[in-house]
Structure 1
Amino acid sequence: MKLKASPESIRKIRKSAAENLRKAQRELTAAGDHGTAYQVETILKRLDERRKMDADAVEREAREQRAIRKSLGLSS
């Protein structure tokens, strides 16, 4: 059986993961492991890109919903 997480749960998990990765990156840099710290930075950039894509999708859906309500003569 496959479980499906809600979009809100996924956002919380991503936020927590990003916080943990930032902490790990600081510790790696302080320890002098710059190669691994750079790899963690790359992962953080990908998470940020994904977050931005998700935000764009939410905004696009909201615009579509407003357009539908307007075309039906409902509240604007």
Structure 2
Amino acid sequence: MNVSHPLVHRVEAASLPPADGRAVVPPRVRMKVFQGMPGTIGRLSLWFYQFAYVLVSLAVMASTSDFPSVTAFWC
């Protein structure tokens, strides 16, 4: 998101439009970037660690002797 809602982040009231009819474009308010936000390196690393955890978990479950007989894993 590139803009912020005025109820969340207070902004000054816009001034009157110019008399010659030009449109006034308000400045864009950028949101803060925090670790784990989509599109960041932190998000990519969190996704990678989650994927690695799933692979290790599946390997541990598949290495047991009764894995094929458990009905929850038939899907």
Q: Which has the higher helix share?
A: 1
TM-score of the two chains, using structure 1 as the length reference: 0.40
Larger radius of gyration: 2
Using CA pairs under 8 Å that are at least 6 residues apart, name the structure with larger relative contact order, 1 or 2: 2
